Amino acid sequence: MTAHSQASEDPDRQGFVEGSSLNLSARNYYMNRNRLQQTDDNIEWGQGFLGIFESGYTQGTVGVGVDTHAMLGLKLDGGGGTDSSSILPVSDGNGKAPGSFSTGGATLKMRALETELKAGDLFLNNPVIAGGMSRMLPQTFRGVSLSNHSFDGWLIEGGQASFTKPYNQSGHQRIGTSYGKLAEGDESQHLNWAGVAWSSVPDLTSSLYASELKDVWNQYYYDLDYRYALNERVSLNPGLHYYHTQDTGDALLGTIDNNTYSLHFTVEAGHHSVTAAYQRVNGNTPFDYIAQGDSVYLDNSQQYSDFNGPNERSWKLKYAYDFAGLGIPGLTSAVSYSRGTLDLTKVDPDSRGYASYYNAEGKDAKHWERDLDLRYVVQGGKAKDLSVRLQWASNRGGNGYGALDTDTDEYRVIVDYPLNVF
């Protein structure tokens, strides 16, 4: 779904009613995961609707407002053993997802000077806790957040989230992880985070974040990105992303000592761009992040695989083209090839959360992925901003990689139509 606007980003919007907005979004989503070593594929097709109302702020030193949202997901196809692609709710055992699911939420917000406090159901987006936006409906979190824009070019934020609403479910649950397996009855009570993002110098950005998933891990993140224009047509873009994850408290997933980083270098020339990226996981557990979330700010996180396995080294080559260069504005494309090598023999076979990654035959496990992405956004008329996106990924493994995953071809067709009501 289109990311919702934040009233706090425009300090000139005054008045509870005068500063309010209502945005609607419809997303039609088809996903087909062809598991080559399995009998049944994962195929689902659904229609999602999202409505977000954001009020302005009351007048005065301390402004008060409220945000609300509602979501509805409808099943168009998915069942008979083809469910579990992550578009629709997990079936009740009969192989058929329910015909619909829905949820709603509200957030109370307060603003004073350049500081905003929110409590309730939150749309979050930062390197350590980002709601998943890559499916039919978005993921939300229930908790509190605080952000400050007092200094030009700086964002300071923090908060605590205790529950999450997954993107393919109606109800809330405790926050889990994408790759670790908690023992039955174990759960983390909340996630705390704090961070700062800086963009005071033109073409240079950097951020530093820290988070604690209670009794699971402490996670730290740093990035640096720079864009240098050689001339009017050619620019260079180097960048770094780095995560350190360490177990904490009761260590419900066992011992974690993981350092993961990625480096990229992009050359842009007119409507063309070429990116080379290298990524490294230093640790005997995979690089892990919030379940269903998008808080994996790594260059080699692809459509199907994150290339984040234990001790994994990977590289990627990507080419992108904007068809505005051929007189077709709104049409963009990208094609990439990624390849990774893992050492699964170093994984602790008795790990509380990651034992399934151990494979005595996986010292030199390998896999590769090819990705193709084609997107068109209508530029004008009544259908302005309607977009159609076609995605294809093909992932293949060998040398023991099959213990983690099967060879897979994945196809996605996504149609988005956002509507600004007021």
**Chain length of the chain:** 422
Strands 204-213 and 173-174, by their bridges, are unpaired
Contact predicate 281/309, CB 8 Å: yes
Structure tokens at 141: 């979190």
- Checking if the pLDDT of 14 tops 50, the result is yes
The pLDDT assigned to 11 comes to 45
Residues 152 and 282 reside in one and the same domain: no
Is 414 contained in some domain? yes
Rounded CA gap, 419 and 57, in Å? Answer: 23
How far is 182 from 186, CA to CA, in rounded Å?
6
How many other CB atoms sit within 10 Å of the CB of residue 337? Answer: 14
Are 293 and 360 within one domain?
A: yes
CA distance 214 to 252: 9
On whether the CB atoms of residues 369 and 342 are closer than 8 A, the answer is no
Looking at the chain, the whole-number percentage of residues with pLDDT higher than 90 is 84
* Same domain, yes or no: 215 and 344: yes
Residue 102, beta-bridge partner list: 72
Q: What is the pLDDT of residue 300?
A: 98
Same domain for 295 and 153, yes or no, is no
Q: What are the tens digits of pLDDT across the range 285-340?
A: 999 999 999 999 999 999 999 999 999 999 999 999 999 999 999 999 999 999 99
Please report the pLDDT score of residue 94 as a whole number.
Answer: 64
The DSSP letter of residue 350 is T
Residue 176, pLDDT score: 94
Q: Could you tell me if 310 and 234 lie in one domain?
A: yes
The answer on 306 and 361 residing in a single domain is yes
Within a 13 Å sphere around the CA of 272, how many CA atoms are in the beta-carbon half?
A: 5
Domain match, 125 and 239 both: no
Please give the structure tokens belonging to residue 361. 């035959």
Please tell me the predicted confidence (pLDDT) of residue 4.
42
Q: What angle do CA 388, 390, 395 make, to 5 degrees?
A: 160
Residue at a domain's end among 139, 174, 209? 174
Q: Please report the pLDDT score of residue 6 as a whole number.
A: 38
Whether residue 9 has pLDDT greater than 50: no
Q: Which residues constitute the domain of residue 58?
A: 1-174
Which candidate, 211, 227, 213, 312, places its Cα nearest to that of 264?
A: 227
pLDDT for 203-260, tens place per residue?
A: 999 999 999 999 999 999 999 999 999 999 999 999 999 999 999 999 999 999 999 9
Cβ atoms 409, 393 nearer than 8 A? yes
Strands 228-229 and 173-174: unpaired
Give the CATH number, domain containing residue 101: 2.40.160.10
Total domain count, the chain:
2
Residue 183 lies in a domain: no
Same domain, 316 and 408: yes
Please tell me the pTM assigned to this model: 0.93
Q: Is residue 188 part of a domain?
A: no
| Confidence category of residue 81, pLDDT binned at 50, 70, 90 | low
Q: Both 244 and 169 in a single domain?
A: no
Q: Give domain status of residue 191, yes or no.
A: no
The mean per-residue pLDDT over the stretch 28-42 comes to 83
Question: Measuring CA to CA, which residue among 258, 354, 351 is closest to residue 298?
Answer: 258
The per-residue pLDDT for 96 is: 75
* DSSP letter string, 150-180: -STTEEEEEEEEEEEE-TT-SS-EE--BSS-
pLDDT of residue 95: 62
108 near 96, Cβ under 8 Å? no
Is there a domain that residue 8 lies in? Answer: yes
What is the structure's pLDDT at 8?
40
Amino acid at 228: Y
- Looking at the structure, tell me whether residues 162 and 200 fall in a common domain: no
Could you tell me if 44 and 78 are in contact, meaning their C-beta atoms sit under 8 angstroms apart? yes
Question: Do 99 and 210 fall within a single domain?
Answer: no
Residues 113, 229, single domain; the answer is: no
The Cα–Cα gap between 47 and 376 comes to 19
In a domain, 388, yes or no: yes
- Residue 356's φ and ψ, nearest 5 degrees, are -65, -15
Q: Which amino acid is at 283?
A: G
Contact 66, 108 (CB under 8 A): yes
Q: Tell me which of 75-84, 98-107, 117-126, 129-138 is least confident.
A: 75-84
Token digits of residue 89: 């709710």
Please check whether residue 185 lies inside any domain of the structure: no
Is 189 among the domain residues? no
Q: Provide the pLDDT for residue 82.
A: 59
All residues at 6 or more sequence positions from 327 whose CB lies less than 8 Å from its CB, including other chains: none
